[in-house]
Structure 1
């Protein structure tokens, strides 16, 4: 039994129809604008509610090599995808020893780089700092570090990531600030505060720290909804697009895929950054074709993407 079965008995079973027999919503890949790369699930910390279960011991997604990422990007571009950005996530990407080479290859192609990082010790190692500085100078304005800062106050953040994590991330952010590297922040919605209050709290923090991040901009401060597989959520039908006044084009899987390497398996593409382990969202080992369809057959599709309106892309 899946974790979400208890709250959603009978739901998210048939990729074609919902529990009440309606046509399930699907999203068509219009073209990969952001190619995501999961550099591996190993992380320097173990968060209390990590959606991908990253930790210092979890290598369910093993390290990718720079040559593997480069070859995959070649294949995706050869399929005619309009890639403008490569997003790197983990785990903590800076733990992968070949990660700086991956960034350099993408930047040399004239593409943007978005790095999801906790800005802690792995990023602050001397070799990583030297490479970041070199790349920031060589490719000004092409690289953004999106730092995971779960709340604007240390107690909330540290309750999720461990004592002292907030202060350590701020140290990394100050270094990026002084280097002139563009930053964004990813926050969480677990505090229960109204969004306006949360954004105001971050704005005060950014001002106090001299960080050029616009807390009112949803792309600069991304506030992710909580992903509770035990919560009851509705299934998304084809009729929902009109009822919600939303378009499938606005859902993340219409314009992105994620490259992963599951332990013991070949490189593959996942439809969603949130669901790298779900067989129904495995898009195979070949570069995806434009027009490929994804059935919205998981609670995250509803709560996170369609109803929550969240997107990992910049």
Structure 2
């Protein structure tokens, strides 16, 4: 289980939710404009990647399968609370491992939301029942469904280095099926290999052209390139003064616009988390309901600084 809050490089930091190690007031973020509610469908996955932030694998069921009825309950809470949610996201693990994936997506679409499914597009998605389910959803909601494909690198060798032999080939086969059936796709890649952003995007551009994938390599929302998530890397804590120093707003981090629902193994009910990147950090669990999840989030983790606020900048004065 992954429960590290701060590695050795950050010794003494990220301990108090209200105060930084040097005694300054820690920054927090309000849920100012809820746009996306994420559902983690379970941590089970058909493969085990070399550097999976959520430790998904064929044996990790730390987060168990969510059910259609549980998703529908939260969709009803969205309406009751008046959250202006436009998008429901499904992540894992591999969402298509969950036998109720199609039913959960249908529930979100029937409620009027757009649906984003994060998938490796491999054998779980390509099972006959899942393909039939996707095609059935597409009859009424094709323009409301997007699948974000995990394609770590534009080259087969480097993708398979992370995900195992023949993973690239099987993902491309899944993407070809989605292409041929008119589904909207985006890609999630990684910046593990020291390429520049321009080099990575050029590689993806060539790949998309080769296979006729209608994906924009230059649009950071269509080809998302994620850095490695190293909790031991030295990062500064974010104080209330940082917003003005950096010229940023507390409405920008993703905890200002999203929450994630998970169900822990052995739990009676799902829980709502402040952040999709911190599924195992207990201090970011907000309660079982959306009402409880409306409170402010203290930026009390290295990821809050590195990924959500700094983006390579520094607020050290």
After TM superposition, the score normalised by the length of structure 1 is 0.95
Query: How much has 1:256 moved relative to structure 2?
Result: 0.6
Counterparts of 2:221 and 2:48, CA distance in 1: 26
Query: How much has 1:307 moved relative to structure 2?
Result: 2.1
Q: Which residue is equivalent to 2:279?
A: 276
Q: Which residue is equivalent to 2:301?
A: 298
Q: Which residue is equivalent to 1:145?
A: 147
Pairwise mapping of residues 14-29 of structure 1 onto structure 2 (< 5 A)? Answer: 14-29=16-31
Q: Which residue is equivalent to 1:163?
A: 165
Secondary structure in structure 1 of the residue aligned to 2:88: strand
Q: RMSD in angstroms over aligned alpha carbons?
A: 1.4
Query: How much has 1:76 moved relative to structure 2?
Result: 2.4
Query: How much has 1:12 moved relative to structure 2?
Result: 0.5
Structure 1 residues 8-50: Cα deviation after superposition (integer angstroms, max 9, x where no partner):
1100001111111111110001142100000000000011111
Secondary structure in structure 1 of the residue aligned to 2:307: helix
Query: How much has 1:305 moved relative to structure 2?
Result: 1.4
Query: How much has 1:218 moved relative to structure 2?
Result: 0.8
4+ residue stretches of structure 1 with deviation over 4 A?
none
Between 104-113 and 171-180, the greater mean CA deviation after superposition = 104-113
Residue 3 to residue 81, structure 1, CA distance change in 2 (3 Å): closer
Residue 277 to residue 290, structure 1, CA distance change in 2 (3 Å): closer
Secondary structure in structure 2 of the residue aligned to 1:250: coil
Between 224-233 and 35-44, the greater mean CA deviation after superposition = 224-233
Pairwise mapping of residues 31-180 of structure 1 onto structure 2 (< 5 A)? Answer: 31-180=33-182
Secondary structure in structure 2 of the residue aligned to 1:138: helix
- Do the aligned residues in 2 keep the contact of 1:30 with 1:254 (CA within 8 Å)? yes
Query: How much has 1:291 moved relative to structure 2?
Result: 5.2
Equivalent pairs, count: 309
Q: Which residue is equivalent to 1:312?
A: none
- Do the aligned residues in 1 keep the contact of 2:75 with 2:111 (CA within 8 Å)? no
Q: Which residue is equivalent to 2:315?
A: none
Query: Which runs of 5 or more structure 1 residues have no equivalent in the other structure?
Result: 310-314
Pairwise mapping of residues 157-306 of structure 1 onto structure 2 (< 5 A)? Answer: 157-265=159-267, 266-288=269-291, 292-306=295-309
Counterparts of 1:250 and 1:31, CA distance in 2: 10
Between 87-96 and 99-108, the greater mean CA deviation after superposition = 99-108
Q: Which residue is equivalent to 1:10?
A: 12
After TM superposition, the score normalised by the length of structure 2 is 0.95
Query: How much has 1:281 moved relative to structure 2?
Result: 0.3
Secondary structure in structure 2 of the residue aligned to 1:139: helix
Query: How much has 1:77 moved relative to structure 2?
Result: 2.1
Query: Which runs of 5 or more structure 2 residues have no equivalent in the other structure?
Result: 313-317
Secondary structure in structure 2 of the residue aligned to 1:59: coil
- Do the aligned residues in 1 keep the contact of 2:5 with 2:14 (CA within 8 Å)? no
Query: How much has 1:137 moved relative to structure 2?
Result: 2.0
Query: How much has 1:5 moved relative to structure 2?
Result: 2.9
Counterparts of 1:212 and 1:245, CA distance in 2: 35
Counterparts of 1:126 and 1:138, CA distance in 2: 20
Query: How much has 1:130 moved relative to structure 2?
Result: 0.5
Query: How much has 1:106 moved relative to structure 2?
Result: 1.0
Structure 1 residues 211-231: Cα deviation after superposition (integer angstroms, max 9, x where no partner):
000011111011111101121
Structure 1 residues 59-110: Cα deviation after superposition (integer angstroms, max 9, x where no partner):
0000011011101111122111101110000000000001100011111122
Secondary structure in structure 2 of the residue aligned to 1:222: strand
Residue 288 to residue 255, structure 1, CA distance change in 2 (3 Å): farther
